[in-house]
Chain A
Amino acid sequence: MQNPEQPRLMRGNEALAEAAIRAGLQGYFGYPITPQSEILEYLVAELPKRGGVVLQAESELAAINMVYGASGAGGRVMTSSSSPGISLMQEGLSYMASAELPCLVVNINRGGPGLGTIQPAQGDYFQATKGGGHGDYRLIVLAPSSVQEMADFVVEGFRLAEKYRNPAMILADGALGQMMEKVVLPPEGVLPKTEKPWATTGKPEWRERNIITSLFIQPEKMEEVNLRLQKKYHELQHEVRYETIGVEDAEVLIVAFGLTARIAQKAIELARAKDIRAGLIRPITLYPFPYQAIAHWAHTVFSVLVVELNAGQMVEDVRLAVNGRRPVTFKGRMGGIIITPEEILQEVEEQAEHYRLVRV
């Protein structure tokens, strides 16, 4: 095995899979779907050799419920899929959130709705950040924008999932999954084992039986569970993460996540070469969402531009953050088409021109 400190060239899906093994992955349950099947294939080849279990399930429904069982049995477990498959997992994720079972779910987002396309998209933002299934619950959502982050966020995803006993999701897209970049992998054993006294491992005489369930038939009890979950989501707000680039002197603030944030970075360079001061906020945690940071930096610019590979989803959260104090515009591409820096530049130029005129 190569020295973990040594950078190597890897595909996003494979870097993620290798990082998962190094983070102590004990069980993977998944079903093939483009563009993420490399995760399953990599793990089938590697994980059993290194002490873990891999099972190709008969469906995404079965896969997420195997994850439920394996997580309940105390394992550090994950699944991965792409948009249509993630839709099938929503019931299971609702059950896991209610039963407070940690796991990592990777969504290599592709264009939808329906069977859609296999090209990159960000149309699953609502599904990922607003719960996705039935009932009041949230996933912890991390949005990588490089192969390096595909690897790093696996460790972070497991850490947060186990700390808060809640499913965590990595929301990436087909481009991040398929592209090759330099990556420094985390070392083996990067994440210590978590004590799980609640796991169903067999009831010894000295303790009561452990029960994992999401059924609380008495309304008072069910509300109690909901209040506990809400308290957890409140505490989660401390885990908010984001990155800023060139915001200090910006006239136009771009908000973008994942792959789109990288394209926006290039657009900012192009804009600054034309003497337009654009800056970027990149939410890294999509839940919890960096409302405060966006509110803060929006205050210092003329206008806010949200760029996404969808019809406008995160823009709703940005508008909540900005709360009407600045105009918020949106530019998106759909259907698996990746927006170009030039398209973003054009929007930035229009904004700058408009608000410079207004100011005069």
Chain B
Amino acid sequence: MEFNLHKNGMELVYRRPATLTETPMHYCPGCSHGVVHRLLMEVIEEMDIQAQTVGVAPVGCSVFAYNYMNVDMQGAAHGRATAVATGIKRMLPHRYVFSYQGDGDLAAIGTAETIHTVNRGENILIVFINNAIYGMTGGQMAPTTLLGMVTSTTPGGREASVMGHPLKITELVAQLPGAAFVTRQAVHTPNAVRKTKKTLRAALEYQRVQLGTCFVEVVSNCPSGWKMTPLEANEWMENNMFPVYPLGDLKVPSVRQL
């Protein structure tokens, strides 16, 4: 971001991008959503594509994403965000289209849409917030909930014999030829925040040249759902989530594609 000289002669080092509205976010203290919203909107401002961008909000904690993101947006039915995004992109192939979804929306009720959208190689960006829990409905088990993890619907911890294993949908979609760029990031440290922003920028640049579906998972915390302080949640995430959901690129475009 460019540094501007403020009226009082002091240097402005941090400001709200014009692509974020002034509406205060409803997210819990310490939650990753606010950071990822901001990063995505910063990238859209920096690329100067606000007028060419259409977003899709899911059902889940980020159901109100359109209250904060200052771009044209549609709210989708639970799990159907990438089908809605497909409809938008097919009508407006030269617009930047993204969906922003949680783990319940994308990897449980919306699994079929997720797989088939990526398999078609829709030229959209899918932002996937994985906090291993249903936050909005009060902390129930998600498809990505870790084994042994206590939620309101796995009070004794998730057991593989009853509820199966954490679904690594990012690894699944990385197998599909339609996926151009698949990566897993986090926003728990300044360095991680910078890296996530870089991947979001790359994903939208790839969309410009129509490489296929770009899929950015952000392993996230949920202090309220996990019943931890924000700091504890970030530590728990590093110690427990990252071993199951290791950070890094799963698939990058080949030099030939670029």
Q: How many interface residues does chain B have, given as a range?
A: 20 to 34
Task: Scan B73-93; emit 1 where CB is below 8 A from any A CB, else 0.
Answer: 111110010011111101110
Residue of A nearest to B57 (CB): A213
Contact call A65/B80, Cβ cutoff below 8 A: yes
Contact call A69/B85, Cβ cutoff below 8 A: yes
| A188-244 contacts to B (CB < 8 Å) | 200-205, 209-215
| A81-140 contacts to B (CB < 8 Å) | 91-92, 95, 99
Task: Name which of A38-46, A53-61, A174-182, A317-325 contacts chain B.
Answer: A53-61
Contact call B75/A69, Cβ cutoff below 8 A: no
Known contacts A70-B91, A201-B92; A212 and B74 CB within 8 A of each other? yes
| A74-B88 Cα distance, complex, nearest whole Å | 9
B56, B77, B84, B92 — most chain A CB neighbours (10 Å)? B84
| B79-111 contacts to A (CB < 8 Å) | 80, 83-88, 90-92, 95
Q: Is the interface of A mostly helix, strand, loop or mixed?
A: mixed
Contact call A202/B83, Cβ cutoff below 8 A: no
Whether a CB of chain A sits under 8 angstroms from the CB of B116 is yes
Residue from A55, A71, A73, A91 within 8 A of B54 (CB atoms) = A73
| A203-B112 Cα distance, complex, nearest whole Å | 30
| A29-B7 Cα distance, complex, nearest whole Å | 54
Whether a CB of chain B sits under 8 angstroms from the CB of A72 is yes
Whether a CB of chain B sits under 8 angstroms from the CB of A62 is yes
Residue from B56, B86, B90, B95 within 8 A of A202 (CB atoms) = B95
Whether a CB of chain B sits under 8 angstroms from the CB of A27 is yes
Contact call A70/B90, Cβ cutoff below 8 A: yes
Contact call A209/B80, Cβ cutoff below 8 A: no
Contact call B88/A211, Cβ cutoff below 8 A: no
| A268-B112 Cα distance, complex, nearest whole Å | 51
Whether a CB of chain A sits under 8 angstroms from the CB of B133 is no
Contact call A69/B77, Cβ cutoff below 8 A: no
**Shortest Cβ gap from A272 to chain B (Å):** 51
Contact call B74/A69, Cβ cutoff below 8 A: yes
Contact call A203/B50, Cβ cutoff below 8 A: yes
Contact call A58/B116, Cβ cutoff below 8 A: yes
Contact call B92/A68, Cβ cutoff below 8 A: no
Whether a CB of chain B sits under 8 angstroms from the CB of A288 is no
Contact call B72/A201, Cβ cutoff below 8 A: yes
Contact call B87/A209, Cβ cutoff below 8 A: no
Residue of B nearest to A96 (CB): B77
Known contacts A68-B84, A69-B86; A92 and B74 CB within 8 A of each other? no
Whether a CB of chain A sits under 8 angstroms from the CB of B210 is no
| B106-155 contacts to A (CB < 8 Å) | 112-113, 116
Q: Which residues does chain B contribute within 8 Å of A259, judged by CB atoms? A: none
Task: Name which of B63-71, B187-195, B218-226 contacts chain A.
Answer: B63-71
Contact call A65/B84, Cβ cutoff below 8 A: yes
Residue from B50, B66, B70, B90 within 8 A of A66 (CB atoms) = B90
Contact call A72/B88, Cβ cutoff below 8 A: yes
Known contacts A73-B54, A201-B95, A213-B66; A53 and B90 CB within 8 A of each other? yes
Whether a CB of chain A sits under 8 angstroms from the CB of B170 is no
Whether a CB of chain A sits under 8 angstroms from the CB of B4 is no
Known contacts A58-B113, A202-B54, A204-B51; A66 and B72 CB within 8 A of each other? no
The 25 sampled A-B contact pairs (Cβ below 8 Å) are: A27-B87, A53-B91, A61-B112, A62-B80, A62-B116, A66-B83, A66-B90, A68-B83, A69-B91, A70-B87, A71-B87, A72-B87, A73-B87, A75-B91, A77-B87, A77-B91, A92-B77, A92-B80, A200-B54, A201-B92, A201-B95, A209-B72, A211-B72, A211-B73, A212-B75
- Counting from the closest, the 7 A-B pairs by CB-CB distance are A69-B87, A213-B75, A69-B84, A70-B87, A200-B72, A65-B83, A66-B87
